Structure 1
Amino acid sequence: MKHKFLLRVLGVFSTLALLIAALPLAPVSAATLTLSPTSGPAGSLVSVTGTSVATSGSLVYILFNGANISTATVGSSGVVSGSFTVPTNLTRGTYTVSFLFTGGDSAASQTFTITPSITLASGTGYVGDSVAVTGSGFTPSATVSFYLAGITAPFATTSSNSSGAISTTITIPAAKKGTLSITANDGGATGSAPVNFIVNPKITLSSANPGVGDTITVTGTGFYDGAVQIAIDSGTAVNAGVSVGSNGSFTATYEIPALTRGSHTLKVNDAWNNNAQVTFDIAQKITLTPTSGNVGTSVTVKGSGFNTTGTITLTYFGQSVTVTLSSGTFTTTFVIPGVQAGAYTISATDGSVTSTATLTVTTNITMSPTNNASTPGNVGQEITITGSGLKANDTVLVTFDSAQITVTPSPVVDSNGDFSLKFKIPAATAGPHTITVISGTTSKTFTFFVEGTAPATPAPLTPEMGLKAKQPVVFDWEDVTDPSGVTYVLEIAADQNFTTILYQIKDLTESTYTMTDAQKLESVSSDSPYWWRVKAVDGAGNSSAYTGAGNFTVGFSLDLPAWATYVLIGIGGLLLLALGFWLGRRNADY
């Protein structure tokens, strides 16, 4: 029995031994690898530590994504320590870092994540600066956007190349004084590590050479909140009444005070005593107001940047005058004399420096008097036209509604470029008319309104109503006056309604008319008299009403009733018969 039990125990152990022999052998040792950091941009320096049972002093290869990138050795206690630089030609992503032992130990590995990175060529400057930016580790051929910390909208963009690198310039956006944290991202989960740019206050002027009294624009960036103060040459600061905006910027206007020629400093302070300054030059300068005009125009000349005291000599149109300086400035006026149109140089000198400005003299043609529809003129009114700035010896042509006006003597521009002429408005209808003046290549058009008021109706005088007129008949009426002159129209008719007009006589310049022999009227009775009337017409064609119709007779006429006329005719007939009978008897007696 004991032998059988022993045999069974041995069988169990034999089976266990076979099972154990069938199990895989455990490694002699397990090497370790640790990275610090585990992520970063291309070009980063990464520390590598680990352990190994390999022979002390044996060589260890450090592989980055399978490629040897550095080496280390196994220490006496099995510690492995080394470092490597992340290759710069790789794009964002996760890569394997591993040990390869030459002393017989097993390999060990960890992962390293490459993140994008950017570098600024300058770390300090001003709003609006263009700063060069380089970067790597971005997604190839992707849009890369630049951001300020805390702001979700990008302020600039660029594109990465096929290797995930960028090279561009960015413009520093508006911001208050301080440090801007700038990052870049191609749309991946993480962007570049932030880089800093320090913004400093800065001011610019709208003119680097302003004159005394000029209003200049001062633009500032990189300031803190509060009203800015402006001072020149350490003078008393002036509150410009302009506050810095939320982006650190402001714009203010400032009038340049009386300053002498040379360099000056303008300084701006904000409420937090952040300041910036800029230099500008006051140079000798003259300004003209206006810069163009016609003969007779008054021109104001202002100068600055000359000697502090003394005088300047101002020269214009061949004339020179002396003007006293005050703190390097002066103001004077002159009137443009009679000259031809063109550009003329005005100069000022203090004996040391000279400044010039250009004055343009323009042509000018005027008409007097002028009128409008509310206050029109009249036919025959005298018009005066003068001109200046024209070419000497040019003739002057005047037209009225395109018809040339004869002016005696014929007007010609004199040596100073001037002319003057007069003419009277010709007969024209009421309303607007065009007067054009032409001299050489210069022309000017005016509108002249002729009055439209009709003259008064004449009062008839002779022949008087119902009376017999002697031949030749003389018609007379009262005079009518009108600014545009008056003529009359006389009508003589055979009926009161003037349906049968015997004579219409126009353009009578006198208030009387004597009929000619050719116009002798036949004798009529009072039963069928002649009728007459008259009206006045002014030079603008405005007509008065006709006078009331008046009647008159001419020749032999008895104002008898019809029956009496017949009786007289009968008696006349009887008398003729009696006369014939008497003559017959007398002849018979002989």
Structure 2
Amino acid sequence: MEPSSFKKKLKVLAGGVCLFVISGIFAPREASGLEIESITPGSGTVGITVTIKGTHTDAGFYGNPIWGTFGTTYPAQNWTEVRNDPDESTFTYTFNVDTQSYGTKVLTASEYDGSNIATTTFFILPNIYSCELPSGPVGYPVTIMGNGFGTTTIRIDFGRSQTITTASGNNNGTFSLTFIVDTQTYGTKIITAYNADNLSIVDTTTFFITSKIYYLSPTSGTFGTTVTVLGSGYGEQNSTVTIHFGLTQTITSVVIGNVNGTFSATFNVDTQPGGSNVITATGISDYGIPLATTVFVVLPEILSVSPERGTVSSIVTVEGRGYRETVTIDFGTHYTITSTQASSYGTFCITFIVSTQFYGTKPITARWLDYGIIRPAVTSAFIIIGRITLREPSSGVVGSPVTITGNGFDGTGTVIRIDFGTQETITSVVMSNDNGTFSITFLVNTQPYDTRVITVYGPTDNYDTTIFFIRPKINIVSPPLGIVGTSVTVEGVGYGTQTFCRVGFGITSVIRLDDVGVLQKKTSDNGTFSAYFYVNTQPGGTTVITLYHQLDLSIRATSTFFITSKIITVDPLSGKVGEVVTVIGNGYGLGTTVRIEFGTTVTITTTTTDKHGTFSTTFIVDTQPGNTRVITARDLGPNPSLVATSVFNVQGKIAKVFPLSGKPGDTVTIEGWGYDGTITVDFGTSYTITTTYIENSGTFTITFIVNTQPYGSKAITVSDIDTTGISSLDIVTWFKVVGKVILVSPQSGVVGSYVTIEGCGYGTNTTIRIDFGTQQTITTTVSDDIDGTFSTTFIIDTQPYDTRVITVYGPTDN
């Protein structure tokens, strides 16, 4: 018989087997010759290993296969038969229960041709053979698989939840379904699977509900954020759940108020390191310690920036929390201006110095490096405002330069304006850089004495101020030097408005001003002052002029006037050698020695000045060349520049004429002082009877021979002749010309002979009487009407032998 025909027949036979049940035990009807002696086990779940043992009493059956079926499993399987005894055949067959529905399943054994049928039964029990994961939290999907169940609807109970889900049955008694773990307490929960129409078809397994934080809101935040934590899978009602957060043990706790093991807790984020911080919810249960964790991200925040605005170089303190590891601060355009390490709780406090940047709001960024990873930065802000960094100098006078430098002002192309006191926009500058710095210089303009505000304005409301103190100043002293009596104009600036000021000059504390001689004078509205005074008698040299406030002597300024020396008196202004000259001067040092120089004489005399710098002294004109000679009064004290000069005219003086009278032909010697240059001597009617060149000392000695001139006093005139030929000095003295017999011819003779006599030095056109020996008036004649000469003869009258005197008489005693 073909195997296929056998299988069909076997199937029919199997279908005709009659079974009966006694007390739930299935007993097959025995087949002749073929017997199933045992089945082990007699019941079990799908997949279990079953062993069948049987016998066959027919020895002729030995070696033939046995075919068998199990429940609904077709076609028949070849059960291999093993004989141990040739006289008796036994067999053993082992198989695994395949997938079939719940209940009694018949095992049928037969010969290959379908004869000798033997049967037994196996009871398939329901079995949950798979639960994918044995544990999980509420909300977790659980997939279970079962077999050996009935063909009707499968119902699943889970813990305290009946019919958590169902599944439709199928003919092979299997199911696979998924349900979501519902809200129940922590611990082991029974999963029960059974057929809805037969509760005896049932199997169970277990699932362990673990704890879970299933809701966290928000999941990140900064200090103080209120955090809500919801959990499931915790202990029974009235058990406690403790919340731990980051570094904080027990930030809060809550008592479970329900039977399903859920809780709800809230807490406020405390000081923690930045980044992920673990939230742990720990409960109490008979099954152990329910515990679940989640993560809350603590966000960094800058708590404070102090101050919130300031200038470049300000010290800024930044405080933050929610950081970890290295905290780096960026400021405006300055990347990594400073850095620090956060504390274990994530806080930091750090300072930095505001770097040079232009005006405006600058971000302060605190970023942190978390184990090498740059975490998101948190930004605050600091407003850089303008600052005057230098004002040099801090005080000064009108006209002095002031340098202003600043930073924290606007960038390139903007205009920085400088106001000074009452002067708006005393100067301005166009910014040429983007770092907000500038430097500018202006001159102090005319403003009253006092503290003046310097204001630097940017194009917005960005400005800064500093102060400058205007001090008084004497800006004009004109002339800067002069002699006693000079009119000096004094002008000042930087004084108070409409205030009275006085002028001190040297040893005079208050000098009279202007022609009206007032002691004080009022300033103008802008603090200027102008007056003049006359230099009074004071020691010469640099003399301090003090212009001061009448009531506040601290408001004062000084300048100087140089009192020059002056010879105020030379008396007389001219004179001759040997005469006394008086010299008076002022503008010299106090109590100093003054040397008087005269002409070529370096020190003709010295004197000492009084407390006012004046002196009075005399000297005797020494031998000097004639004409104008300089008198120099020189201060020998600490100020040698105190020198004044005047002039004295040294007049010529004929010191000596010898003889004072004489006859024509006599030699006359003239000595003189006080001459200079070429000297000409005129005598009587004779011009330039002689000349000479003066010596350096101005003295001269010269002789001339009395020429023929009429009797009488004749002027001797000594003259200086300069290079132009003009006589500059005529000095006259007198010489008396007396008569002289210049010819007697013959000089001897006899009585009666003629004697010719000639003479000169007699008056002009006068009668000349001639006596001879004892004879008075032997003759007379008339002298020449021009030169006083005469010539006449007489006859020797009778007189004794001997030398006789001839006497010629003019009309006087000549």
> TM (normalized to structure 2)?
0.37
> TM (normalized to structure 1)?
0.48
Relative contact order, higher structure (CA 8 A, sep 6+)? 1
Greater C-alpha radius of gyration: 2
